[in-house]
A and B are shown apart, each in its own frame.
Chain A
Amino acid sequence: MTAVLTNGTGQAPALDVTGTPGITMARLVRVELRKLVDTRASRWLLAAIVAITLLIIVVVFLTGSRSDRTFLNFMAATGAPQGFLLPVLGILLVTSEWGQRTALVTFTLMPVRGRVLAAKVVAALVAGLAAMVLAMAIAALATLGGGAGDAWAGVGVDDIGKFGLLEASGVLQGLAFGLLFLSSAAAIVTFFVLPTAFTIVASLWGTLHKAAPWVDLSTSQQPLFDSGHMSGHEWLHLASGTAIWVLLPFVLGLVRVLRAEVK
């Protein structure tokens, strides 16, 4: 029982909170990571990410010619399925709290909602990093087990960095769409349909086509898939596309959740 002090004047007994340890960020992150693995649905999603990453590398290994079996090719192959599933993980990290109404409990235990959301961002990034490490490990195994003669050629820190950016951007974009829609179905559908529709429109409509590197995320992310140096221009494109498709929905969603009435 926490101490109840009476301040002698017969007024409201005050609750002494000075001795109560607060809730650290590390603890909130640990809780959010736990939520990623503590239900059947979330475990299936993680298992799917592992299985598909493994599968795609095996497929590349078996179907490609020996000279194609390079570390970078293996890594590049994992990009597509992971880019597909990691955002879903980000979406569900937010929307399951609303769909299952656990936000009621989460925000009661930690009323400073921004801190919960910050913990979710960190947890999502940790999950993205883990997925990347997994992809690298399997790709390395495949390379060692029968790669081309120059399988490790051209592998640099920048390649790993670019891959990390893609993973982080994907999982955070998912989180942002989750915050914006607060509903799994709406967020997932919009996440997959809207950028694709935009890309199609951009490819058909000339004016937009010229602006595509600035406003279409998949176009501005293209250089990240290529090996080699990215120009300052390409970085600007990437920053612009990311601002529109990741940062903007994230900020809008953040405002929505901070202001929302939790029922």
Chain B
Amino acid sequence: MITVEGLTKTYGRFVAVDDVTFTCRPGRVTGFLGPNGAGKSTTMRIMVGLTPATRGQVRIGGHHYTDLPNPGRHVGVLLDASAQHAGRTGREVLTIGTETLGLPRRRVDEMLELVSLSPAEAKRRVRNYSLGMRQRLGIAHALLGDPSILVLDEPANGLDPAGIHWMRGLLRRFAERGGTVLLSSHLLHEVERIADELILIGQGRVVSQGTKEELLSTRGAFVKAVEVEALRDALAREGVHAVPSGEGLRSDAEPLQVGKVAAENAITLVELRPAEGAGLEELFLQLTGDTQRDGQPPQDNPQTSQTSQTPQTGQTGQTGQTGQIEGALA
């Protein structure tokens, strides 16, 4: 169980993490999804005490991470697979871990086998590892202490499709045994395949969260209103669940019911339509568009990566404003 409460981190006037609150439950794989620079890594670094929070707190199984007597025995952490000494062998990296945690040396071989690094590969120096091999080594390192909680930052980065499949199986089994998993990704399709619950973050704020089914659901309605909060409250009174989605709400009720609720409460609707398929993707693209930086194309949508590369003379006439182009496409 990881509980994040009102977490805020500012650097001068820049707010990297803005009042972030969420919970990761045992038995579930929680995906932390957002574009690069959205605040995922900062949140994770704060979780394990590497970065001090400006406000708010994180509790891991009810404790502050830094109060754990031997944190590696409870929480497996992989923040950056490349943050290993290039001159050490894979085996040596794990040996240092077992020594620190106070574990028997055989744990090294067990973990190497678990992540399918061969004895020959384990003897090679990390500088000669591919990113995928570093990720496997990082996962092995995180699992050394047989933790019940995993915190993994972009663990699928650099893995081939077979590797992602393998990781999904590994994390699924971990969660089925009652483990808690939080993993981050900037790629929707990646996290979609692995996670049960999703937390979407953009510009430091949680934009949306819920189960994958909820967020990916094609039922329901998308609605924009002048009085968004009032509509949400009114819907809640009718027992209709609605989550923020871009500038509007995504509700699991059909448009007819949403329209009635709005009319009864004299709420002005700006837009009301059946939710389109892959509502999550739409939301994610909006998010990516809003926070997209020049020259850094989003990596999981070929359309937008084309539009952001070169000045556009397309249907909107915008240049490089992927957010607006996506808005037009949506």
Contact = CB atoms under 8 A, between A and B. Distances in A.
Interface of A: 1-4, 12-15, 17, 20-24, 27-28, 30-31, 34-35, 38-41, 96, 100-102, 104-105, 107-112, 261-263
Contacts of A12: 1, 3, 23, 59, 61-62
Contacts of B88: 38-39
Contacts of B29: none
Given A2-B146, A4-B26, A108-B50, A28 B83 contact: no
Contact of B60 (A15, A35, A38, A104): A15
B204 interface: no
Nearest to A24: B102
B62 to A, nearest CB: 4
A23 B92 contact: no
B100 A31 contact: yes
Given A1-B146, A21-B102, A102-B85, A108 B69 contact: no
Contact of B45 (A28, A102, A261): A261
Of A23, A28, A110, which is in contact with the most chain B CB atoms at under 10 Å from its CB?
A23
B87 interface: yes
Given A107-B50, A109-B71, A100 B84 contact: yes
Contact of B99 (A13, A30, A104, A262): A30
Given A14-B62, A15-B61, A111 B99 contact: no
Given A30-B99, A41-B87, A96-B85, A111 B49 contact: yes
Nearest to B23: A12
Contact of B83 (A4, A15, A35, A101): A101
Contacts of A14: 61-63
A17 B148 CA distance: 12
Given A12-B61, A111-B49, A262-B50, A21 B26 contact: no
B303 interface: no
Given A20-B73, A105-B141, A261-B45, A4 B80 contact: no
Given A2-B74, A109-B72, A261-B51, A27 B96 contact: no
Contacts of B141: 105
Contacts of A108: 48-50, 71-72, 77, 79
Given A2-B146, A4-B61, A20-B69, 6 more contacts: A1-B178, A20-B68, A21-B70, A23-B69, A107-B50, A112-B66
Contact of A34 (B74, B99, B101): B99
A96 B26 CA distance: 37
B220 interface: no
Nearest to A261: B51
Contacts of B3: 12
Contacts of B59: 12
Contacts of B246: none
Interface in B30-66: 45, 48-52, 59-63, 65-66
A38 B59 CA distance: 35
Interface of B: 1, 3, 23, 26, 45, 48-52, 59-63, 65-66, 68-74, 77, 79-80, 82-88, 92, 95-97, 99-102, 141, 146-149, 177-179
Nearest to B27: A4
7 contacts: A12-B3, A17-B63, A27-B102, A39-B88, A96-B85, A108-B72, A109-B100
Of B3, B50, B84, B148, which is in contact with the most chain A CB atoms at under 10 Å from its CB?
B50
Given A13-B61, A21-B102, A38 B92 contact: yes
A38 B45 CA distance: 27
A39 B85 CA distance: 9
Given A2-B148, A4-B178, A12-B59, A23 B100 contact: yes
A20 B69 CA distance: 7
A243 to B, nearest CB: 30
A96 B87 CA distance: 11
A35 B26 contact: no
Contacts of B147: 1-2
A111 B65 contact: yes
Contact of B74 (A15, A23, A110, A262): A15
Contacts of A104: 50, 79-80, 83
A28 B245 CA distance: 48
A94 to B, nearest CB: 13
Contacts of B100: 23, 27-28, 31, 109-110
Contact of A262 (B1, B45, B73): B45
Contacts of A34: 95-96, 99
Of B3, B141, B147, B148, which is in contact with the most chain A CB atoms at under 10 Å from its CB?
B148
A30 B96 CA distance: 10
A261 B50 CA distance: 6
A258 B92 CA distance: 27
Of A17, A27, A28, A30, which is in contact with the most chain B CB atoms at under 10 Å from its CB?
A17
